[in-house]
Chain A
Amino acid sequence: MAGKILLVDDEEGIRRVLGISLSDMGYEVHTAENGETALQVFRDQRPPIVLADIKMPAMDGIDLLRKLKAEDPDTEVILITGHGDMDLAIKSLKYEATDFIIKPIEDRDLESALEKARQRIKLRQQWRSYTENLEDMVRRKTDRLTAAAEAAENAGNGRFQHLFEELPGYVAVIDGDYRITEVNKAVKFDFGVDDPGGTHCYELFRGLDEPCLSCPVARSFAEESPCQEELKFTPDGGARTCHMFAWTTPLQDEAGDVSRVMIMMTDISHLLDLKDHLASLGLMVGSVSHGIKGLLTGLDGGVYMLNSGFSHNDPEEISEGLKTVKTMSSRIKRMVLDILYYAREMKLDKQPADIAEFVRETAEVVAARARESAVELVRDVDASLENSRITIDAEQLRAAIVNILENALDACAEDREKDWHRIGFRAFAENGTLCFDISDTGPGMEAEIKENIFKLFYSSKRSQGTGIGLFITRKIVSQHNGTIEVESAPGRGTRFRIRIPYRQ
């Protein structure tokens, strides 16, 4: 059972057909024919996912979305929009809809939107339970362990020794010289040692030659009290890195002196991954909504000037307004496409492709814009590559290169120092790789910009860029096991080079 879902649409036919699809997918379907009823059903049933039509009489999908989010911000709301309702769709993202699907509804789109909603619900639950439980868990275990270890030492009781061995998480007892005197099974297993007795803790856990700079064990010795710390570890002989949450507690000997410290650790890498994921989602929503606000202002401006131009019968103002509207709508389109592209799962579909044809078709995508901006676009495929093929996902790799070509066009358009500009797009084979070389005669980049261009949400184009394009480009290139480099300096243009493994 996939759980409850609430389906809101004013058309009975759609409710019936979609209802059947959703039941088939295993959902317990509740329906409502308008926003008011939807809210009542929502309060009764508390479905985690709501699927609603964006255009309904009285309360529309956006109003419903806002009310649902106000009642329970964790509700995943998917909106159904008509073809061409892009403005409403953007608005729905602003009010934190999970996704939108476009009519006519394809089963695949519906499934992927629902999958996204379920993922978000799962992620949120995991995150919540981790943060709530982690500290509590470590504290409880440490308390129990301290008692167990002390009792075992005093009474020599094998039962407690057994408990110590079986405890989940890594447990070690360390003396004043940072030498390990005892470890539990988990340490032996994961750090690959049978008897670590006498080994330095920093050596075993982190492969270091001297004590760590910030060491909770040392602090516990000095302060005679429990300490905690997040540490980076390399178990499995350095094959992987994991982040540990470490908790130390001083152990007193018979004279009441602290002669040893027990350290207990738990792997929190997974938790940190979740944190990164959430942070990137948050950043995404923030940066996107900010960008959209700027674009909407520009669009408002264009429409205002158009209106004003018509009422004053001023052709110059009309054409100014029209130009603004055109620019803004193309930027919005680009932004929405970027976002949709980023949001999509990227799985490569690799097929053999003719190299010369790939280059020609890729250049074709930006040829019209180059002509309009009076930029010469020169493409060149090395003669040795004639009739050669390479196995790539042509659609994805083309998108990656088009991002670079479009940036090159933007750069040339921005540079008014020269009255001519050229973009070179070359392909040639070199050292077992196929190189794509994209160079422009634009203004070039400062070192600081150059270092950041591949970062997600970094844009040097301010309100005109989403900071997603080159991030995607690099992702696609690395999915092809390739590399991407950039050379650039102010006044000297920019050159990107993509290398994809290739055997002639």
Chain B
Amino acid sequence: MAKKILVIDDDPSTVKYLVSVLKNNGFETCEAYDGVEAMAVLQREKPDLITLDLEMPEEWGTRFYRKLRKQEGALRDTPVLIISAMPSRHLSVRDVVGYLSKPFDPGEVIDIINQNI
């Protein structure tokens, strides 16, 4: 069965881009544009991995990340790949499978995902 990736970014063009890359590589996708929506989609879709932009208004990204790690059961350990325009040294989350900085290389996204699920 195809693995499912949750794409979270408030910039619609980035979401479309990632969804297109993922579908072309045989993944299923679901998407969310802010932290609240992301939490609902996470619980409904139970994705195998999440790509997350930390730089969303009002620290949605960071807050979503913290909430995710406090979830009950297996959801808590969902692997997270950060894709952000901020340099990684400025980021406040540590337990992730990778950081990619924008603009990213689609090949790298797929490599990191394949290595982690």
CA distance A327 to B102 in the complex (A): 18
Residues of A within 8 A of B36 (CB): none
Contact B24 A296 (CB under 8 A): no
Contact B102 A301 (CB under 8 A): no
Q: Which of B13-34 contact A (CB under 8 A)?
A: 13-14, 16-18, 20-21, 24
CA distance A308 to B57 in the complex (A): 31
Contact A304 B21 (CB under 8 A): yes
CA distance A293 to B53 in the complex (A): 13
Residues of A within 8 A of B57 (CB): 462
CA distance A297 to B86 in the complex (A): 13
With A290-B85, A308-B20: A302-B13 Cβ-Cβ less than 8 Å: yes
Residues of A within 8 A of B102 (CB): 293-294, 296-297
Residues of B within 8 A of A299 (CB): 103
CA distance A302 to B17 in the complex (A): 7
Residues of A within 8 A of B18 (CB): 301
B92 to chain A minimum Cβ distance, whole angstroms, is 17
With A293-B85, A293-B101, A293-B103: A298-B13 Cβ-Cβ less than 8 Å: yes
CA distance A327 to B85 in the complex (A): 19
Number of interface residues of B (CB under 8 A): 18
Contact B16 A320 (CB under 8 A): yes
Tell me, yes or no, whether B45 is within 8 Å of chain A by CB.
no
CA distance A3 to B55 in the complex (A): 45
Q: Which of A290-314 contact B (CB under 8 A)?
A: 290, 293-294, 296-302, 304-305, 308
Residues of A within 8 A of B24 (CB): 308
Contact B85 A301 (CB under 8 A): no
Contact B103 A300 (CB under 8 A): yes
CA distance A208 to B69 in the complex (A): 56
Contact A297 B16 (CB under 8 A): no
CA distance A487 to B25 in the complex (A): 50
Contact B20 A305 (CB under 8 A): yes
CA distance A294 to B103 in the complex (A): 7
Contact B20 A297 (CB under 8 A): no
A313 to chain B minimum Cβ distance, whole angstroms, is 14
Residues of B within 8 A of A320 (CB): 16
Contact B13 A296 (CB under 8 A): no
Residues of A within 8 A of B21 (CB): 304
Tell me, yes or no, whether A328 is within 8 Å of chain B by CB.
yes
A303 to chain B minimum Cβ distance, whole angstroms, is 9
A296 to chain B minimum Cβ distance, whole angstroms, is 4
Tell me, yes or no, whether A463 is within 8 Å of chain B by CB.
yes
Please indicate which of the listed interface residues A301, A320, A324, A463 has the most CB atoms of chain B within 10 Å of its own CB.
A301
Residues of B within 8 A of A462 (CB): 10-11, 57
Contact partner of B14 among A297, A308, A327, CB < 8 A? A297
CA distance A328 to B106 in the complex (A): 18
Q: Which of B57-91 contact A (CB under 8 A)?
A: 57, 85-86
Tell me, yes or no, whether A354 is within 8 Å of chain B by CB.
no
Contact A305 B103 (CB under 8 A): no
CA distance A462 to B18 in the complex (A): 20
Chain A 262-304: CB-based contact to B (< 8 A → 1; otherwise 0): 0000000000000000000000000000100110111111101
Residues of A within 8 A of B14 (CB): 294, 297-298, 301
Contact B85 A298 (CB under 8 A): no
Contact partner of A463 among B11, B16, B86, CB < 8 A? B11
CA distance A67 to B30 in the complex (A): 43
Tell me, yes or no, whether A317 is within 8 Å of chain B by CB.
yes
A334 to chain B minimum Cβ distance, whole angstroms, is 16
B55 to chain A minimum Cβ distance, whole angstroms, is 9
Residues of A within 8 A of B10 (CB): 462
CA distance A328 to B13 in the complex (A): 9
A464 to chain B minimum Cβ distance, whole angstroms, is 9
Residues of B within 8 A of A294 (CB): 11, 14, 85, 102
Contact partner of A301 among B20, B86, B101, CB < 8 A? B20
Q: Which of A446-493 contact B (CB under 8 A)?
A: 462-463
CA distance A388 to B11 in the complex (A): 47
B84 to chain A minimum Cβ distance, whole angstroms, is 9
17 A-B residue pairings within 8 Å (CB atoms): A290-B86, A293-B85, A293-B103, A294-B11, A294-B14, A297-B14, A297-B104, A298-B11, A298-B13, A299-B103, A300-B17, A305-B20, A308-B20, A308-B24, A324-B13, A462-B10, A463-B11
Q: A293-B85, A302-B13, A304-B21 are in contact. List 17 more A-B contacts (CB 8 A).
A: A290-B86, A294-B85, A296-B103, A297-B14, A297-B85, A297-B104, A298-B13, A298-B17, A300-B103, A301-B16, A301-B18, A304-B20, A305-B20, A317-B20, A320-B16, A327-B13, A463-B11
